[in-house]
């Protein structure tokens, strides 16, 4: 159907970003803000930064990604703060490494604000059109063609097509060619990706129904308000967003489970209509009921979709059951007995690529100048997508400016863990970031993201002067506080305070840091001795953690130094793995396919075991 015959020059750009979802927005801003003449394509301007699933940004490990995106000069954290309905700190009962911010977002406001930011960005041209072909000459990207015959010439293209490539929504027996929420799918680009060498596979994800809030009986649910005494996502903001709307907690019950189990044959997931891989860690309610048969109830969060709408998102109850069954399922839940469904739940299948063909810069190995980011890389989540979009945008910009690439190691950022997992291990199901994936998580906390990353963002020109000065000021305050904490309190003044916390009298003077190591909260020490200046919430938190977990952090740094030794053992890119005696066949094939940059990365490839690494070390020693 595309206008192959008729071609015209739509625009001459340096870079094109295909897709204005969470990946595309960050990629386009990173390019345009570093002076690259950029064109941003989307199927529909009304889907810019659209939140097709949960109306929230952040959550466990995802909050870390948002803070890291912000520290590098990205946009998601700022928009999440500015359009939050409420914000909470998750896992406060657990260690500092897993505490994560999560904001309930106003969907329409999030879209409108990101669109406003994009529209007011220099060097950025936004076009509503469907990309149908990647133009390649001599192994290099030369442009993008649209279904209307328009050609946008460029030297770099970043593919951020999300869940739209050959998108199909599934509810019961009804399968419809569609993107999320009825937006049009992209039905022409996949063939072009296959033609230029990508391996394409199909993934699936699902979303719950949206209910009319007026018809929910909240008196049967537990209200959940936002937190007040916490810090915002963005280091550019001094205060956490105001909490405007609550969420509510309710539960499924045995009746809900019975409706599902009695109708499992009508579930596309269980009758073979859906065969593609879905997100293990965001399972549908059918899967939860089948997988956890012993559980009598599952948590359901009722989340407002926005201040200007009555729609309520039913977190924890995504499904692709037929509409009549959905009505029974939702009506069986306490508080939802008379709830009206405004949008029915559905599953969506879409094409995505195999990231073992992509470099750590997210550039495609087979065609220079082609990058991929977001759901197209097999991940699931706004935050994961935004992080990849930012990195792909930064690297395309650096390459176009003739500057060296920028990658993050696993010990530097969750973003480093995310991308290394994708390009080294690959994924056979939608990949969701989790703290357990980050072996160095004690050092990769959300509170210190700027200390880890803002200097780097400054180097490649994405961190503004204002952001850099704020970072320097925060660092100075933090170091000032650390110095103050070393101040020693005379024995006579420390004793009564320590005894109040059940400690015996000290043998001499005690520093405030020693008190912290005795797990006495910093705010209590500050209240007691009142000798400290004014400090922002996140400066206090970072200082308290740095002192309290000093031992663990030291161990963490030792682990990082140990890992670095293997990361620094580079693997020349001309190695013929098939000729190295002693390497097992599986290892030879995997090493040849992925072509790792160093021994550390080689060791993380599934199918390459420690014995293979020893063989490689001996081989490298003979080459020196
Ligand atoms: C039904 C559903 C359920 C989900 N459930 C979850 C969940 O439970 N947990 C979770 O973490 N995440 C979930 N997500 C995923 C989340 O929405 C995505 O991870 C996130 O939106 C991906 O961002 P992205 O930028 O990669 O792509 P998207 O946000 O999908 O944006 C893609 C963009 O590309 C554009 N586009 C695509 N093809 C073309 C083309 N050929 N030409 C021009 N423009 C094009 C589109 O117009 C759109 O602007 C769900 C998504 C959907 C749709």
CATH code for the domain of 526: 1.10.10
Answer for the pair 396, 31: CB distance below 8 angstroms, yes or no.
yes
Q: How many CA atoms within 13 Å lie on the side-chain side of 524?
A: 12
Q: Which atom of ligand 1 approaches the CA of 380 most closely?
A: 19
Is the confidence at residue 5, as pLDDT, over 80?
no
CA 88 to centroid of ligand 1, rounded, Å? 25
The verdict on the CB of residue 24 being under 6 Å from ligand 1 is yes
Is the confidence at residue 240, as pLDDT, over 90?
yes
Q: Which helix (H) or strand (E) holds 10?
A: strand 8-12
Residues 6+ apart with CB under 8 A from 28: 17, 20, 38, 40, 118, 121, 124, 393
pLDDT tens track for 319-350: 999 999 999 999 999 999 999 999 999 999 99
Which residues are 90's β-sheet partners?
A: 100
**Are residue 520 and residue 595 in the same domain, yes or no?**
no
The residue assigned the tokens 């946009």 is: 75
Q: Which atom of ligand 1 approaches the CA of 130 most closely?
A: 42
Mean pLDDT confidence for 511-521: 94
Taking every pair of Cα atoms in the chain, the longest distance, rounded to a whole number of angstroms, is 89
SS3 call for 331? helix
The verdict on the CB of residue 382 being under 6 Å from ligand 1 is yes
Q: pLDDT at position 608, please?
A: 92
**Are residue 492 and residue 619 in the same domain, yes or no?**
no
d(CA 55, CA 77): 15
Among 558, 578, 599, give the residue marking a domain's end: 558
**Are residue 615 and residue 541 in the same domain, yes or no?**
no
- Residue 591 placed within a domain: yes
Is the confidence at residue 3, as pLDDT, over 80?
no
Under DSSP, the state recorded for 277 is B
CATH number of the structural domain spanning residue 318: 2.40.30.260
- Residue 37 placed within a domain: no
What's the whole-model pTM score? Answer: 0.96
Answer for the pair 284, 269: CB distance below 8 angstroms, yes or no.
yes
CA 510 to centroid of ligand 1, rounded, Å? 55
**Are residue 591 and residue 531 in the same domain, yes or no?**
no
As a whole number, the mean pLDDT across the chain is 95
Q: pLDDT at position 4, please?
A: 52
Domain count, the chain: 3
Answer for the pair 75, 26: CB distance below 8 angstroms, yes or no.
yes
**Are residue 511 and residue 593 in the same domain, yes or no?**
no
**Are residue 220 and residue 335 in the same domain, yes or no?**
yes
- Please state whether 73 falls in left (phi above 0), alpha (psi between -120 and 50) or beta: left
CA 339 to centroid of ligand 1, rounded, Å? 28
pLDDT tens track for 419-454: 999 999 999 999 999 999 999 999 999 999 999 999
3-state SS of 393-456? HHHHHHHHCCCCCCCCCCCCCHHHHHHHHHHHHCCCCCECCCHHHCCCCCCCCHHHHHHHHHHH
pLDDT tens track for 155-186: 999 999 999 999 999 999 999 999 999 999 99
d(CA 4, CA 368): 24
Q: Which helix (H) or strand (E) holds 376?
A: none
CA-proximal residue: ligand 1, atom 6 (nearest): 53
- Residue 479 placed within a domain: no
pLDDT tens track for 55-111: 999 999 999 999 999 999 999 999 999 999 999 999 999 999 999 999 999 999 999
**Are residue 242 and residue 311 in the same domain, yes or no?**
yes
- Residue 432 placed within a domain: no
The verdict on the CB of residue 180 being under 6 Å from ligand 1 is yes
**Are residue 539 and residue 580 in the same domain, yes or no?**
no
- Residue 600 placed within a domain: yes
Which residues are 300's β-sheet partners?
A: 250
Answer for the pair 264, 172: CB distance below 8 angstroms, yes or no.
no
pLDDT-derived band at 115 (thresholds 50, 70, 90) equals: very high
Q: pLDDT at position 533, please?
A: 84
Among 347, 366, 389, give the residue marking a domain's end: 347
CA 584 to centroid of ligand 1, rounded, Å? 39
- Residue 97 placed within a domain: no
Is the confidence at residue 2, as pLDDT, over 80?
no
Report the sign of the C-alpha dihedral through residues 386, 387, 392, 398, in that order: positive
**Sheet of 56-58: strands edge to edge?**
56-58, 100-105, 84-90
**Are residue 552 and residue 576 in the same domain, yes or no?**
no
**Are residue 222 and residue 280 in the same domain, yes or no?**
yes
- Residue 115 placed within a domain: no
Is the confidence at residue 371, as pLDDT, over 70?
yes
Helices (H) and strands (E) in the chain, counts: 20, 24
Q: pLDDT at position 1, please?
A: 44
* Residues of the domain holding 580: 569-623
CA 20 to centroid of ligand 1, rounded, Å? 9
Helix spans in 88-164 (H)? 107-119
SS3 call for 268? coil
């Amino acid at each position: 159907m595309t206008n192959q015959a008729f071609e015209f020059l739509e625009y001459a750009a340096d870079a094109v970003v295909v897709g204005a979802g969470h990946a595309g927005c960050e990629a386009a801003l990173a390019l345009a803000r570093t002076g690259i003449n950029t064109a941003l394509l989307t199927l529909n301007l009304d889907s810019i930064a659209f939140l097709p699933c949960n109306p929230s940004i952040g959550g466990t490990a995802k909050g870390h990604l948002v803070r890291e995106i912000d520290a590098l000069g990205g946009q998601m954290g700022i928009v999440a703060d500015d359009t939050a309905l409420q914000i909470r700190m998750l896992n406060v009962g657990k260690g500092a490494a897993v505490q994560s911010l999560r904001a309930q977002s106003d969907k329409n406001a999030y879209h409108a604000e990101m669109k406003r930011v994009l529209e007011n960005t220099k060097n950025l041209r936004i076009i509503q059109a469907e990309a149908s072909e990647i133009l390649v000459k001599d192994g290099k990207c030369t442009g993008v063609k649209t279904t209307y015959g328009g050609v946008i010439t460029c030297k770099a293209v970043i593919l951020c097509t999300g869940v739209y490539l050959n998108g199909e929504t599934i509810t019961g027996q009804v399968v419809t060619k569609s993107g999320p929420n009825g937006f049009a799918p992209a039905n022409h680009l996949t063939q072009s990706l296959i033609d230029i060498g990508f391996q394409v596979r199909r993934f699936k994800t699902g979303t719950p129904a949206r209910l009319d809030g007026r018809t929910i009986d909240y008196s049967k649910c537990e209200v959940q308000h936002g937190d007040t005494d916490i810090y915002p996502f963005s280091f550019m903001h001094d205060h956490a967003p105001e909490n405007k709307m609550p969420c509510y907690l309710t539960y499924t019950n045995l009746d809900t489970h019975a409706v599902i189990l009695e109708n499992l044959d009508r579930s596309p997931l269980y009758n073979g209509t859906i065969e593609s891989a879905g997100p293990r860690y965001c399972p549908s309610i059918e899967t939860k009921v089948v997988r956890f048969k012993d559980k009598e109830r599952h948590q359901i969060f009722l989340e407002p979709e926005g201040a200007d709408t009555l729609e309520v998102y039913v977190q924890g109850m995504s499904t692709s059951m037929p509409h009549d069954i959905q009505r029974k399922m939702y009506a069986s839940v306490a508080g939802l007995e008379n709830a009206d469904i405004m949008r029915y739940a559905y599953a969506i299948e879409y094409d995505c690529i195999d990231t073992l063909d992509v470099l750590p810069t997210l550039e495609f190995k087979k065609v220079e100048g082609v990058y991929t980011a977001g759901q197209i890389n097999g991940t699931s989540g706004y935050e994961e997508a935004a992080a990849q979009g930012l990195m792909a945008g930064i690297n395309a910009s650096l390459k176009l400016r003739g500057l060296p690439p920028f990658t993050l190691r696993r010990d530097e950022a969750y973003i480093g863990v995310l991308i290394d997992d994708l390009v080294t291990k690959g994924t056979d199901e939608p990949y969701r970031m989790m703290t357990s994936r980050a072996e160095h998580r004690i050092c990769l906390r959300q509170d210190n993201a700027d200390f880890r990353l803002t200097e780097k963002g400054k180097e490649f020109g994405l961190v503004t002067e204002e952001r850099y000065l704020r970072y320097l000021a925060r660092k100075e305050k933090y170091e000032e506080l650390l110095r103050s904490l070393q101040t020693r309190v005379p024995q006579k003044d420390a004793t009564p305070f320590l005894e109040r916390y059940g400690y015996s009298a000290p043998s001499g003077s005690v520093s405030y840091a020693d008190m912290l190591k005795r797990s006495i909260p910093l705010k209590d020490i500050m209240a007691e001795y009142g000798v400290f200046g004014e400090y922002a919430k996140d400066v206090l938190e970072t200082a308290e953690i740095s002192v309290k977990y000093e031992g663990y952090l030291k161990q963490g740094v030792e682990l990082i130094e140990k890992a670095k030794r293997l990361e620094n053992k580079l693997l020349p890119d001309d190695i013929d793995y098939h000729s190295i005696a002693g390497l097992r066949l599986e290892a030879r094939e995997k090493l040849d396919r992925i072509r790792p940059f160093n021994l550390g990365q080689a060791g993380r490839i599934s199918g390459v075991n420690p014995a293979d690494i020893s063989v490689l070390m001996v081989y490298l020693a003979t080459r020196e």
